[in-house]
Structures are given as C-alpha cells and as structure tokens.
C-alpha cells in the first residue's frame, strides 16, 4: 500500500507518523505550492496530487514542531494539526498516536439502554481545569451511579477559557486542558472504572478566530449564514472534501482516543440536501471506526427531527438519541412559574410532564408561537432511551442573567419532585456537573477572544438575554456578566467540597440513581409499560406495569397538602390481588403510621429527612390519599419483589 493510501486510511490529512518518518498531507485546492517548515527552519516542498499536497520526510518523530507555507506566504499552523502547544495561532506539533499504551483492550463500549449521562466542562469541573485533574474525579462519579461522561467540546480554541463551541483546530485537544496523551489518560481512566466517554462536537460552524482553512481553500463555506457565521458546505460544489474533513474528524476521536460516542451540537444548523445526509454518513463511518466496540451517537436538534434517531433502513440518520428540550422547558416553567422567551409556549402542567414521559416530544407538528412556525415531528415507536431528558445543561443554565442553577431558583422540595421524574422516568437522564450536589456556583457564558471580537461577543450576549423581559431593563443590562471578564470564568468553577457540605442533595441524587439502576421495573425503560393521570390540582401519578415484578407508582404533588377521597382514577387502584376483601377500610396498622394496611408499600420519598425534607409519609391511608405538598413518593405493589 502506498504511503498516500496509508495516510488516507488512518487520517484524511495531517502529519502522520510512520515507522521511518512522517507523512504530511493537506487539502489545499486554493494553492499552487505548499511547503512544510520545520522548527529548525528546514523547508520541504510537498507534491501536488489533485487538490491535495503530500510528502514524506524521513527520520522525523513525534514531538517536533512544524508549519506550512502556502504560495510563499505564512508560515501557518496545520488545520489538521493533532496538537497546538501554543494555541491555534502557534506552530503545530507532530503527534505519534501509537506511543500511548492503552489498557482498555477488553472495553466493550456503551449502548443507550441504562445510561445516566453526566455533562461536564473540563476547564471548570475542577480547580485544576485539566484532563488529568478531571480524571481524578471520575471514581467519585462512578460511585454515585454515573455511567457515561459527556465532555463539552475540547477542539483547540483561542484564548485562556472557552465553552469549546469556538473550536478551530478540530483534530487538536485544547492545549490549556493538556495534550493528546492527557486526554487519552482521561478516557483510559474512565474505561478502567467502567465509565463511558462521549465527546460534544461542533459540525455546524467553525470559530471566527484561528481558523486557517481559508488560507488553503475557498470551498469550506456557503454564502448563507446561520447564527454563528457562514454555513458549512456539505452539499455544494467541491463539498466532497469538506464532508471528508468532518467524517474523518468523527472517526479520529473514536479511533485514536477510544471515545465511546459523539454528541452533535445544534444539528438544525447542519444543512445538507445530499442523497445521504452528512450525519447519516458520519454515523455509518464512525461505527466502522469503532470496530467491535459499541458507541452512542446523540444530537441536539431544535427542530425535533425524529428522523435523526430512526434506523438507516427506515430513511433515518441512524443516531441513537436526541436531546428533548420539551421536558426541560415544561419542568422549568413548573419549577419557576416563568414563561419568558423560549419558555412562552409551555405551561408547566402535570399533563405536559406526563406526556413527555409517554410521548417524548411535546411539539410534534403543532404551531409554536415563539418560533412562529410549526415545530417538531411525530414520535411513533422510538424507544424511551432515545430521548435524553435534563433539568440542567450548559445552555439552559447560562442563558439567564446570572447563570443560576435551577435548584437555586426553585423551592428545594419542588426541585426534588422534578428530579424524581428525571431520574426514575424511562427516558435517558442527563445531569450537568454539580447538579448532583446542588452546586451553589453559577455556570456563565465565557470566552477569551481578542479585544475587537470580544466586544462583539459581549454585545451579542446582551442581545440574546434581551429576549427575556425581566432582563431587558437598562439596569439589568448593565449587570450582565461579560463573557470576556476573567471573573465570569472563575465564578463558574465547581466547588467540589460541596459534595460534603451539601450532603443531603448528594445523597438524594445517589439514592435515585441507585433505584433507577436496581429496581427491576424502573430499569426496563419502557414507554409502553407506563401510564399517567392527573389526580387532583397539580397532583399526578405515573404507574409502571411490571408484570411478575409487580407495579410501581410515583405520586407527585407539585402543589399544597391535599386529602383526596374518594379516588376515581384506575391508575391508583391496587393490583387485583391487593383489593381489600371486604371492599372497605382495613384496621391493621402499618409502619407508615397511617393506621391502615396500604395496598401500596412506600419505597422512597423525596421528603426523606436525609434529603432535607419534612419527613416521609405513605400517602395511602384507608381509602383516602393524603398527599404532602411538593413531594414525590415511589411505591410498589405488595406482591412485588424486594429491591
């Protein structure tokens, strides 16, 4: 096999280490001549091969620095660089990926069923803000029941801090977090603990500062723009090589870093009218790159396009899951009572929450007044695990004036009710870093751009927040934390000591995740075996029909203390063999203190004093329900197995 074919097989372009030297390859249709410039000043011309330039330099090894000269200008960093030790504007470094010694040869990968996903930002997850510092905390996440880590984008970006969505060197881990070996150590450590790692990738735009692809090609973008800049050319003239950049990038993270999957950012702004959508092609090729490992591919999609998670054989893209903002929005309105901006089309009612559990999306083609268009697509038989639910994520925490967490804005008891729905419901739950111990730290939008670009970003942030009437006042605008302010970044760092000082919240999340993992009925994650009903004002029930394992009943009261008698709702009826023989009230005592033998046994309550609650009470008393305000209670039929 020729060196050129070896290069294409391993990675489309870049500096590729071989046993006797380094093969360089770059896509540069705009150029007549490209030269490699080494750190010692030596220059090597590359040979043109159609729209590419390539060549082999014997004797080179990993760790050496290089740049490219294009038609006599430059030198410039390699857009396919695997590491930028001085940032996106500095020299590129040759990386020998074979030098890392993996210990995860038996790792099978991950599938969607059974996942509890934990989203984190490397720079603010720990005081150190590096891959190695984050790796030291993985055992703690494993201990509370997290199964997969979702890492916010790590592709090299300009400045000292960034969310990662301004990445420009797509194949280079951000140097402020550590080098390629550090990221591999992070993944290897996760696998040694039984944790998966998926990476958030941005294929809808490139950052505005440090992107050198324009030196080598004019084919990368279309003339049309999205909210971040020019749309990437996935289907226009000369788009084949553009597609290959992103296909190879997805395969690169999975192959070289043993990543267990990808989360595709804002896919509604990935425009492609090709016969095979770029996401579908990436899905096919990424699974090939994983070899025998199982990977998961998820998306953020504001349009709620169900085809993304349908099989390729059914005309879908073949992704495994998609974020469901509808659950978040309905839950947030229920928790705060505020219906501003993009929350305006949600009421936060029990029925909305029930429908999310049973139906996935709330908007499946109805008119959406905020967007002034129909929204969503029809959900049919897609599995529950294909819908990712959350109460917090990086966007929805930061898209508010002070970046407060939802648990800081809502009544604690009410928050515990909603977290019970999140962690016991059949859909895949996602926690945002710090949520598990009720972090007091905000998560704000932060970037570190050059002064001119920084001013534009700060102004854009004010425009975004102006859609919220309560933030649009002049005094509020003046108090918006500037993304470019170092303090904005520092305030967003977690205080991990709060795992101890907020022990009640930590235990609460840990107990719920344990129930999710161990209860034989909850673990089934079936939308078809649950039902829900409104019992009274702001009181509703979800029932799992568990067959031989018995049934489970989650009674949720988002309102005040309430006595309900009689109970004209079949979901609240006891299983057939638990109906009282005399048809009336029982007299034998029970350990809940109700004075009557309940037909449902309480196994968990959000009002447990260990969580900071007022005390757990079995709501079933005789033929009456006593429902504590702001409480969620999980019960099982008396015939069901123990947990």
Per-residue model confidence as pLDDT tens digits over 502-528:
999 999 999 999 999 999 999 999 999
Q: What is the pLDDT of residue 464?
A: 77
Instruction: Using pLDDT thresholds of 50, 70 and 90, give the confidence band for residue 593.
Output: very low
Per-residue pLDDT tens digits for 441-478: 999 999 998 888 878 877 877 777 777 777 766 555 56
265 classed as catalytic: yes
- Kindly report, as residue ranges, where domains of CATH 2.60.40.10 are found in the chain: 3-99
Handedness of CA 310, 316, 318, 319 (dihedral sign): negative
- What is residue 241's predicted lDDT score, i.e. its pLDDT? 92
Cite the residue boundaries of each domain of the chain with CATH code 3.20.20.80.
Answer: 117-205+240-516
**Burial tier of 460 (Cβ tally within 10 Å: 0-12, 13-18, 19+):** middle
CA angle 508, 514, 516 (to 5 degrees): 105
Q: Which fold has domain 3-99?
A: Immunoglobulin-like (2.60.40)
Task: Give the per-residue pLDDT at 567.
Answer: 85
Greater confidence (246 vs 401) lies with 246
Taking the alpha carbons at both ends of the chain, their separation in whole angstroms is 58
Quick check: is 300 catalytic?
Answer: yes
The whole-model pTM stands at 0.94
Decide if pLDDT at 597 tops 50: no
What's the confidence (pLDDT) of residue 463? 77
Q: Answer for the pair 262, 253: CB distance below 8 angstroms, yes or no.
A: yes
Helices (H), 431-543: 451-465, 474-478, 486-491, 498-501, 503-518
Query: Region 302-324: what's the mean pLDDT?
Result: 96
Indicate if the pLDDT at residue 199 is higher than 80: yes
Q: Quick one: DSSP state of residue 428?
A: E
Q: Which pLDDT belongs to residue 466?
A: 75
Q: Give yes or no for a contact between 396 and 331, defined as CB atoms under 8 angstroms apart.
A: no
Crossing angle of helices 503-518 and 412-424, rounded to 10°: 20
Tell me 467's DSSP state. Answer: T
175 backbone dihedrals φ, ψ, rounded to 5°: -65, -25
Q: How confident is the model at residue 577 (pLDDT cuts 50, 70, 90)?
A: low
Closest Cα partner for 337 from 328, 349, 320, 326?
A: 349
Candidates 2.60.40, 2.40.160, 3.40.50, 2.40.128; correct CATH number of 527-637? Answer: 2.60.40
Taking alpha carbons only, the member of 66, 70, 75, 67 closest to residue 28 is 70
- Which residue of the set 54, 219, 300, 325 is catalytic? 300
Q: Which of 54, 265, 325, 511 is catalytic?
A: 265
| pLDDT interval class at 290 (50, 70, 90) | very high
How much of the chain, in percent, has pLDDT values that exceed 70? Answer: 93
- The arrangement of secondary structure in 117-205+240-516, i.e. its CATH architecture, is Alpha-Beta Barrel (3.20)
Residue 390: predicted pLDDT: 98
Helices (H), 374-450: 394-398, 406-409, 412-424
pLDDT band for position 581 (cuts 50, 70, 90): low
**pLDDT given at position 12:** 73
């Amino acid at each position: 096999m020729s060196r050129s074919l070896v290069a294409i097989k391993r990675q489309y372009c870049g500096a590729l280490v071989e046993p006797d030297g380094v093969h360089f390859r770059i896509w540069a249709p705009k150029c007549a001549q490209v030269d490699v410039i080494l750190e010692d000043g030596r220059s090597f011309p590359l040979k043109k091969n159609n729209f590419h330039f390539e060549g082999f330099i014997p004797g080179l090894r990993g760790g050496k620095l290089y740049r490219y000269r294009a038609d006599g200008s430059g030198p410039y960093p390699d857009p396919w660089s695997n590491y930028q030790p001085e940032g996106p504007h500095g020299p590129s470094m040759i990386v020998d990926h074979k030098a890392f010694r993996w210990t995860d040869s038996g790792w099978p990968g991950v599938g969607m069923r059974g996942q509890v996903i934990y989203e984190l930002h490397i720079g603010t997850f720990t005081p150190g803000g590096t891959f190695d510092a984050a790796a030291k905390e993985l055992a703690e996440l494993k201990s509370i029941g997290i199964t997969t880590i979702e890492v916010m984008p790590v592709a090299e970006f300009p400045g000292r801090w960034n969310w990662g969505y301004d990445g420009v060197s797509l194949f280079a881990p951000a140097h402020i977090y550590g080098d390629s070996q550090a990221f591999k150590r992070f993944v290897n450590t996760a696998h040694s603990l039984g944790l998966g790692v998926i990476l958030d990738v941005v294929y809808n735009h490139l950052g505005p500062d440090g992107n050198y692809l324009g030196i080598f090609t004019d084919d990368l973008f279309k003339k049309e723009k999205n909210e971040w800049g020019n749309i990437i050319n996935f289907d226009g003239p000369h788009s084949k090589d553009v597609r290959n950049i992103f296909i190879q990038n997805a395969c690169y993270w999975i192959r070289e870093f043993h990543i267990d999957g990808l989360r595709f950012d804002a896919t509604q702004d990935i425009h492609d009218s090709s016969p095979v959508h770029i996401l579908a092609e990436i899905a096919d090729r990424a699974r090939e790159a994983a070899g025998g490992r199982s990977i998961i591919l998820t998306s953020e999609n504001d349009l709620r396009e169900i085809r993304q998670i349908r099989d390729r054989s059914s005309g879908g893209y073949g992704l495994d899951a998609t974020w469901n903002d509808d659950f978040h929005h309905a839950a947030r309105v229920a928790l705060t009572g505020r219906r501003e901006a993009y929350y305006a089309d949600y009421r936060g009612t029990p029925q909305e929450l029930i429908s999310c559990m049973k139906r996935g999306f709330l908007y499946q083609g109805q008119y959406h007044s905020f967007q002034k268009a129909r929204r969503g697509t029809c959900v049919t038989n897609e599995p529950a695990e294909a819908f990712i639910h959350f109460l917090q994520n990086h966007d929805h925490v930061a898209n508010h004036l002070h970046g407060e967490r939802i648990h800081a804005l809502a009544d604690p008891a009410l928050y515990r009710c909603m977290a019970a729905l999140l962690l016991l419901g059949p859909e895949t739950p996602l926690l945002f870093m710090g949520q598990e111990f009720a972090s007091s730290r905000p998560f704000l939008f932060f970037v570190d751009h050059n002064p001119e670009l920084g001013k534009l970003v700060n102004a854009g942030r004010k425009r975004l927040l102006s859609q919220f009437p309560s933030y649009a006042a002049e005094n509020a605008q003046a108090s918006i934390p500037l993304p470019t302010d170092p303090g904005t970044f520092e305030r967003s760092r977690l205080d991990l000591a709060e795992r101890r000082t907020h022990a009640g919240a930590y235990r609460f999340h840990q107990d719920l995740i344990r129930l999710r993992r161990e209860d034989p009925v909850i673990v089934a994650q079936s939308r078809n075996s649950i039902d829900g009903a409104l019992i009274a004002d702001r009181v509703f029930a979800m029932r799992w029909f568990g067959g031989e394992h018995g049934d489970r009943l989650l009674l949720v009261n988002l309102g005040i203390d309430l006595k309900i008698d009689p109970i004209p709702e079949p979901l609240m009826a006891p299983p057939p063999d638990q109906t009282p023989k005399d048809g009336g009230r029982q007299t034998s005592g029970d350990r809940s203190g109700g004075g009557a033998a309940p037909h449902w046994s309480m196994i968990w309550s959000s009002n447990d004093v260990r969580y900071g609650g007022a005390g757990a009470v079995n709501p079933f008393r005789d033929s009456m329900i006593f429902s504590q305000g702001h409480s969620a209670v999980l019960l099982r039929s008396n015939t069901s197995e123990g947990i």
